[in-house]
């Protein structure tokens, strides 16, 4: 009886289902549903890293300045390698150009001719990028990172008191503040207070190991110091323009000739008014400035709402071969230290129409960190750089400036760690 009743019920259900009309959705409705689901997925995944960051470093949220530089480095790397790599790199390049607005500093740069000669500016830019990558992406406590920082100190030390302490502090401030400004103004999301302070804390330890004195204790104090310094020291000189023009030519070298005027106006529109005047550039047409601003705004919207986050952190560090020499996979302007392979040649043809290709001219046999910088000092700097790197690692093992109480002096030699 029960079996027969159950069978009747099943038949009625099937009969009812057969008489129901299943709504036929149009392809546009299905597309709309798909877009809504995709956008929802993007929003969920894009902010997942930020939620994890907040959870992992919750102990520092109430006082970000309690970060030690090693913990700050982990947070900073997440920003550089996962969240906003392109914009951080772009902001760092702009930071370098803005150091040319300080009138008292560009005279020495012009005198060395490393920056103003078209034959050397490319290598200087690539070497700067490699050195920064070694201690920003690697670690200033590692063998490679400490050698990179020691080599930078060695190159600065060659000029003795021609490089003033306030100029060094301003340069440090640019590498802290300018990427933060770019990320806050133009990236898909602004940085959190923890991320901004982490960048400051790590760069402050770098400044300590460069022997820079009187670094402000907070990001806010650094901003105030920089604003005051800018009022007094950022103004136009011919040397400023020589340095800026050389770098601008490098940036625009692969832009077709008929587009270079527009491209330069677009680049100049990214400077604040004081910086633009100090570098001697005319005010770009308003429509170009608006077009550039709109392009960045559209990019921000598209990335935030429609781009899935990357699957893993980038890895831009040069890779060693069996001999220990290091090779890069990518380059910005010239293929220094890139192996001459079919892939790298195709990249060169694609980006430069064959004008710049990996080969012996660009040291396709790789590099050692202590060899970076002007070729004429490659050998003479090796021993002192290696020695300073060892002393720097010993200084780090004792806790650095936080424990020892003061930075070392790198203006004279030998440097005094924790003096």
59 CB burial (10 A radius; 0-12, 13-18, 19+): exposed
Residues 347 and 310 occupy one common structural domain:
no
Q: Which helix (H) or strand (E) holds 320?
A: strand 319-320
Residues 206 and 336 occupy one common structural domain:
no
Residues 296 and 344 occupy one common structural domain:
no
Provide the whole-model pTM.
0.89
**Torsion angle, alpha carbons of 368, 371, 372, 376, to 10:** -160
More confident residue, 170 or 30: 170
Query: Under a CB-based contact definition with an 8 Å cutoff, are residues 238 and 106 in contact?
Result: no
Q: Residue 290: inside a domain, yes or no?
A: yes
Compute φ and ψ for 105, nearest 5 degrees. Answer: -100, -25
Supply the range of the domain harboring residue 341: 319-362
Per-residue pLDDT, 24: 73
Residues 312 and 338 occupy one common structural domain:
no
Q: Residue 288: inside a domain, yes or no?
A: yes
Q: Residue 206: inside a domain, yes or no?
A: yes
123-160 exposure pattern, b = at least 16 Cβ within 10 A, e = fewer = bbbbbbbbbbbbbbbbbbbeebbbbbbbbbbbbbbeee
Residues 259 and 335 occupy one common structural domain:
no
Q: Which helix (H) or strand (E) holds 326?
A: strand 326-327
Residues 326 and 221 occupy one common structural domain:
no
Residues 93 and 117 occupy one common structural domain:
yes
CA angle 79, 83, 85 (to 5 degrees): 75
pLDDT digits (tens, 9 = 90+) for 76-134: 999 999 999 999 999 999 999 999 999 998 988 888 877 778 888 999 999 999 999 99
Dist. CA 265–CA 385, nearest whole Å: 41
**Torsion angle, alpha carbons of 183, 188, 194, 199, to 10:** -30
pLDDT band at residue 7 using 50, 70 and 90 as cut-offs: low
Q: Residue 112: inside a domain, yes or no?
A: yes
Pairing relation of β-strands 326-327 and 319-320?
A: antiparallel
Please tell me the total count of domains within the chain: 2
The number of beta carbons lying within 10 Å of the beta carbon of residue 113 is 12
More confident residue, 27 or 298: 298
Q: Residue 30: inside a domain, yes or no?
A: no
Q: Residue 36: inside a domain, yes or no?
A: no
Per-residue pLDDT, 412: 44
Query: Under a CB-based contact definition with an 8 Å cutoff, are residues 295 and 279 in contact?
Result: no
Q: What percent of the chain has pLDDT over 90?
A: 73
Per-residue pLDDT, 353: 83
pLDDT digits (tens, 9 = 90+) for 38-87: 999 999 999 999 999 999 999 999 999 999 999 999 999 999 999 999 99
Dist. CA 131–CA 121, nearest whole Å: 15
Residues 107 and 145 occupy one common structural domain:
yes
Residues 291 and 339 occupy one common structural domain:
no
Please check the confidence at residue 22 and state whether its pLDDT lies above 60. no
Residues 345 and 280 occupy one common structural domain:
no
pLDDT band at residue 403 using 50, 70 and 90 as cut-offs: low
Please check the confidence at residue 19 and state whether its pLDDT lies above 80. no
pLDDT band at residue 191 using 50, 70 and 90 as cut-offs: very high
Residues 323 and 306 occupy one common structural domain:
no
pLDDT digits (tens, 9 = 90+) for 217-274: 999 999 999 999 999 999 999 999 999 999 999 999 989 999 999 999 999 999 999 9
Examine the fold and report which residue of 250, 281, 316 is the final residue of a domain before the chain moves on.
316
Q: Residue 130: inside a domain, yes or no?
A: yes
Residues 273 and 358 occupy one common structural domain:
no
The overall longest dimension of the chain from CA atoms, in Å, is 106
Q: Residue 411: inside a domain, yes or no?
A: no
């Amino acid at each position: 009886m029960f079996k027969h009743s159950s069978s009747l019920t099943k038949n009625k259900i099937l009969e009812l289902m057969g008489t129901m009309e299943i709504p036929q959705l149009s392809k546009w409705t299905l597309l709309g549903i798909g877009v809504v689901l995709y956008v929802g997925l993007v929003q969920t995944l894009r902010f997942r890293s930020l939620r994890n960051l907040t959870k992992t470093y919750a102990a520092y949220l109430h006082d970000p300045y309690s970060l030690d530089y090693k913990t700050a480095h982990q947070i900073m790397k997440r920003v550089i390698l996962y969240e906003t790599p392109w914009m951080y790199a772009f902001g760092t390049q702009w930071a370098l150009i803005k150091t040319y607005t300080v009138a008292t500093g560009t005279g020495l740069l012009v005198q060395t001719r490393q920056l103003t000669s078209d034959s050397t500016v490319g290598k200087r830019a690539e070497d700067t990028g490699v050195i920064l990558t070694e201690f920003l992406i690697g670690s200033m406590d590692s063998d490679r990172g400490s050698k990179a920082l020691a080599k930078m100190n060695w190159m600065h030390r060659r000029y003795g008191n021609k490089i003033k302490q306030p100029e060094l502090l301003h340069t440090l401030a640019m590498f802290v503040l300018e990427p933060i400004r770019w990320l806050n103004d133009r990236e898909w999301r602004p940085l959190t207070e923890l991320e901004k302070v982490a960048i400051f804390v790590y760069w402050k330890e770098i400044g300590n190991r460069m022997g820079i004195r009187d670094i402000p204790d907070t990001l806010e104090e650094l901003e105030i110091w920089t604003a005051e310094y800018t009022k007094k020291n950022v103004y136009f000189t011919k040397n400023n323009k020589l340095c800026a023009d050389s770098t601008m030519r490098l940036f625009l070298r692969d832009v077709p000739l008929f587009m270079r005027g527009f491209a330069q106006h677009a680049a100049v529109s990214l400077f604040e008014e004081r910086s633009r005047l100090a570098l001697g550039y005319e005010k770009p047409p308003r429509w170009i400035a608006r077009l550039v601003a709109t392009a960045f705004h559209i990019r921000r919207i598209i990335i935030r709402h429609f781009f899935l986050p990357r699957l893993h952190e980038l890895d831009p560090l040069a890779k060693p071969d069996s001999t220990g020499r290091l090779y890069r996979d990518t380059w910005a302007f010239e293929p220094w230290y890139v192996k001459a392979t079919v892939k790298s040649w195709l990249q060169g043809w694609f980006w430069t129409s064959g004008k710049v290709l990996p080969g012996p001219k660009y040291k396709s046999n790789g590099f050692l960190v202590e060899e970076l910088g002007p070729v004429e000092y490659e050998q003479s700097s090796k021993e002192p750089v290696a020695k300073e790197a060892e002393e720097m690692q010993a200084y780090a093992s004792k806790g650095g400036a936080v424990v020892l109480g003061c930075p070392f002096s790198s203006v004279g030699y030998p440097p005094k760690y924790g003096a």
